[in-house]
Structures are given as C-alpha cells and as structure tokens.
C-alpha cells in the first residue's frame, strides 16, 4: 500500500497559500534516499552519483543533492547553465547529449564538464568545435541486440539511437588517445525503469569485461565506468521496490571478480539516476472539481496532462490516493481526467477508488521525476507551482505557477496587439 508523505490536513493548510494543482516534494525522503545510495557504493572510493537533471530540473532540489555529494548529468546547454548556477563546476558535471549542437559542446568545454560522446563522428566534430580533445573524455556504448534478465525485464539496445558499436568504441579510444585524451570513461544505458536488483550488477559485469578488454588492446587508462540510469521505482503498489544496498553489493561483487584481478581496482563507478533519486519523493496534488455520469463514471480534476503527461503519453500507471480517505473501501470505479481537448488526458482509467466528492484532494504518487519537467502548454494551459515540504514541516515555493503573461511573453508581435496587454492588466496579471 502506497502512503502519501503528506496528510489531508497539511494539504488543506498548504492550499490556503498555494492553490491546486501543484507539485510537492519531500525533502526528508530525498535526503535519506541519496544518503542510502552513497552508503551502498561506499566500497568504491571514486563513486559518484550524477543526478540526471532532465528528470527534475529545479535548482533547489539539485542543491539538496549537491550538498550530499551528487554531481549532475546534463543533456543540454540550459541544464549545464542550471548546474553551473548552483555552484557545480568541472568534473561535478557530466555532459551526456546526442545530436549535439556545436554551441553546446563549446559551453560544456568552457565550464570544464566531462563530455560523454554519443557517436564516433562526434570526435572530429568536437575537435573542430573547441579546437582540441579534452584530456578526460567518455564514450557511450551500445552493444546492440536485446537486453534481457532472468525475470523477463528487457529492452532493445539495437533499436536505440544512442551510443557506439563495440568496434566504433575501440576505434574511438585509439583516435582520442592519439589526439591527446589521457583519462577515459565508458557509459551505457541498456534498460529503462527496471524494478529488479539484478540490472546494475548485470550491466556492470558486461561493462567491466569490456573495460578490461579495452584497456588491454588500446592501452587507454579507464578512469571511470558510468552505469547511467535505469534503476527504477515501483509505480504500482504491489511491486517490490529496488534495494539499493543489494544493488551496490552486486556491483561490488562484479568489480572484485573482474576489475581487481585485472589490476583495475582504482576505477571509479559513476551512476546517473533520475527516477530512483527523485521519483517517489514528488507528487502532483490536484482537486476534484467535476463529476460526470455517462457511459462511465468520470472525476474531473484541476490538473491535466500539461502537469503530468506520462499517463497520456505512455499509458503509464501512477497510483492515486484520495487524501483523508486512505482507509475507505475502494468500491467505486472512475476515469480520472483533466480538461485538455484530448481523450487521452486521463490520470487513471477504470481505477478502483473510494467515493470521491467535489473538493477532495487527490495525491498522484511517484511524479517527482519526469513529471513537471515534461510539461507543456497545449490548449494554452499553464504549468503549476512546485513546492518543497521541508524536514521541519514548513513549505517553500521553489517555482511559482505560470501566468498568462508568461505564456504570451515570447510573442514578438505583442506590441502590435495592445488590447492583449490591456486585457492582462485588467486581470491584474
């Protein structure tokens, strides 16, 4: 049974200052989880978690992780800027992008970020762009084929646009070394949102064997191996969550079995988790504002897919708790919908829930990663606020809700439509 990290009474107090919908993040949960990750990999002296900024690009939340020791994995120039703004610098930042514009490589080099090359052709492109090859460089590996584990969880790297083939990787290391690179990293991402303790150790074993072969054949110093993300969270209440300590121990066993005998016991292990670091510690809080009784029973809420698009885009499951009714029977069946002019704008389909009355607050779980960050403005809808539930019980607004003036602010022709500006002023916006 999933339990909200906030009560109905707390939300009623919060809404006196901040109307629904809003994202709410649990500071204590974020801190405790990050500390557990570092404890799980404490056996590796160089270990570092590079939080995937794309999952939750809010500087307040990033700063919480940074104070625990996390670096930041960035995929764009704005994410690099965000990381730099909170004090990250140099090797605190990993730049893992693809189809990368020249100006983004220039910016990454300017701030000293570790560049993780996605493709063999990017070697010459990077050198032409910044005039050199950095002494520390990483390459992304794609083994191709199908990746499968004993419990049936699998993905299809061969159908992925990311990374280099094994042959390209070996050639890349040789070329990069000839061009001045001295410290090398290997990066790979083979499966998404795995809810099993098996994934990281299995991936680590493959990458460790590859690293031994690479260093032997190319004489390149492998300084770090980045296991990337892929460690998931249990979106459904009947799923068993990952045990990060067991995962860390599994990686350690592979490390001692493969790397240590090869004289590579000084290799640093990196991770770049987003979902595992932040997902369970953020929720979308919304209010029931309409009910509809036609061929099905509908509950309309004041949030929509603009606020959380995963259910509409992927058919993803997010558990819903009706605050204050946690112990009531699940004797109703609803589609929980938003107000977009799209029939897939549904947070739940035929979901068993307690009787919902207008004004009830719905806590949509596990929205702390790839939630707010994937928002958009279709139908002229506006993004909601982000709030932080601090360890002392107080609430801090860490991003205000958008206003119509924000929505119109990028219109270069706004001056030509004085009436629009007057409308905004009339509305006090």
Domain ranges of the chain: 27-277, 280-408
What's the pLDDT score for residue 150? 64
Cα gap 47→330, rounded to integer Å? 45
What's the pLDDT score for residue 409? 86
Cα gap 242→233, rounded to integer Å? 7
Comparing CA positions, the residue from 229, 138, 226 lying closest to residue 190 is: 229
Identical fold between 27-277 and 280-408:
no
Cα gap 198→164, rounded to integer Å? 24
Per-residue pLDDT tens, the chain, 429 aa: give them. 899 999 999 999 999 999 999 999 999 999 999 999 999 999 999 999 999 999 999 999 999 999 999 999 999 999 999 999 999 999 999 999 999 999 999 999 999 999 999 999 999 999 999 999 999 999 999 987 676 766 666 667 767 788 899 999 999 999 999 999 999 999 998 888 899 999 999 999 999 999 999 999 999 999 999 999 999 999 999 999 999 999 999 999 999 999 999 999 999 999 999 999 999 999 999 999 999 999 999 999 999 999 999 999 999 999 999 999 999 999 999 999 999 999 999 999 999 999 999 999 999 999 999 999 999 999 999 999 999 999 999 999 999 999 998 998 888 765 666 676 776 777 777
Superfamily of domain 280-408: Lyase, Ornithine Decarboxylase; Chain A, domain 1 (2.40.37.10)
For the entire predicted model, the pTM comes to 0.94
Instruction: Identify whether the C-beta of residue 398 lies closer than 8 Å to the C-beta of residue 387.
Output: yes
Instruction: Identify whether the C-beta of residue 91 lies closer than 8 Å to the C-beta of residue 114.
Output: yes
Instruction: Identify whether the C-beta of residue 194 lies closer than 8 Å to the C-beta of residue 149.
Output: yes
Instruction: Identify whether the C-beta of residue 137 lies closer than 8 Å to the C-beta of residue 184.
Output: yes
Instruction: Identify whether the C-beta of residue 185 lies closer than 8 Å to the C-beta of residue 94.
Output: no
Domain 27-277's class? Answer: alpha beta
What's the pLDDT score for residue 153? 60
What's the pLDDT score for residue 398? 98
Q: What's CA 140's distance to the chain center, in Å?
A: 18
Cα distances from 386 to residues 106, 195, 239, 272, in angstroms, run 32, 27, 28, 23
Using only C-alpha atoms, what is the Rg of the chain?
A: 23
Reported residue count of the chain is: 429
């Amino acid at each position: 049974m999933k339990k909200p990290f906030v009560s109905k009474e707390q939300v009623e107090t919060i809404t006196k200052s901040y109307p629904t919908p809003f994202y709410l993040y649990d500071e204590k949960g974020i801190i405790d989880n990050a500390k557990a990750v570092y404890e799980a990999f404490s056996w590796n002296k160089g270990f570092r978690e590079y939080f995937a900024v794309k999952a939750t690009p809010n500087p307040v939340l990033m700063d919480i992780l940074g104070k625990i020791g996390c670096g930041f994995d960035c995929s764009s120039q704005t994410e690099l800027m965000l990381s730099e703004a909170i004090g990250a610098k140099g090797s605190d930042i990993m730049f893992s992008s693809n189809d990368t514009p020249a100006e983004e490589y220039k910016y990454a080099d300017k701030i000293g970020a570790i560049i993780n090359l996605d493709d063999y052709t990017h070697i010459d492109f990077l050198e032409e762009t910044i005039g050199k090859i950095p002494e520390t460089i990483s390459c992304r590996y794609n083994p191709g084929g199908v990746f499968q584990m004993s419990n049936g969880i699998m993905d299809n790297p061969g159908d992925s646009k990311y990374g280099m083939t094994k042959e390209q990787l070996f050639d890349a290391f040789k070329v990069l070394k000839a061009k001045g690179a001295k410290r090398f990293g290997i990066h790979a991402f083979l499966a998404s949102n795995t809810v099993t303790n098996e994934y990281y150790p299995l991936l680590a074993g493959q990458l460790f064997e590859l690293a031994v072969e690479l260093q032997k054949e190319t004489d390149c110093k492998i300084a770090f191996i980045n296991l990337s993300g892929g460690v998931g969270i249990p979106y459904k209440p009947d799923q068993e969550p990952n045990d990060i300590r067991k995962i860390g121990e599994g990686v350690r066993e592979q490390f001692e079995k493969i790397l240590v005998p090869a004289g590579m016991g000084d290799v640093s292990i990196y991770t770049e988790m987003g979902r595992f670091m932040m997902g369970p510690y953020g929720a979308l809080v919304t209010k029931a504002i309409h009910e509809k009784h036609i061929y099905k029973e509908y509950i309309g809420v004041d949030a929509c897919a603009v606020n959380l698009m995963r259910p509409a885009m992927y058919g993803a499951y997010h558990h819903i708790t009706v605050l204050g009714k946690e112990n009531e029977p699940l004797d109703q069946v609803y589609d929980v919908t938003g107000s977009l002019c799209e029939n897939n704008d549904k947070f739940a389909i035929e979901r068993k829930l307690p009787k919902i009355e207008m004004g009830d607050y719905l806590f949509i779980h596990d929205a702390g990663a790839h939630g707010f960050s994937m928002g958009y403005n279709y139908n002229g809808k506006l993004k909601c606020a982000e709030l932080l539930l601090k360890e002392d019980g107080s609430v801090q607004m860490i991003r205000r809700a958008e206003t119509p003036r924000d929505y119109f602010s990028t219109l270069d022709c706004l001056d030509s439509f004085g009436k629009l500006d007057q409308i905004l002023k009339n509305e006090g916006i």
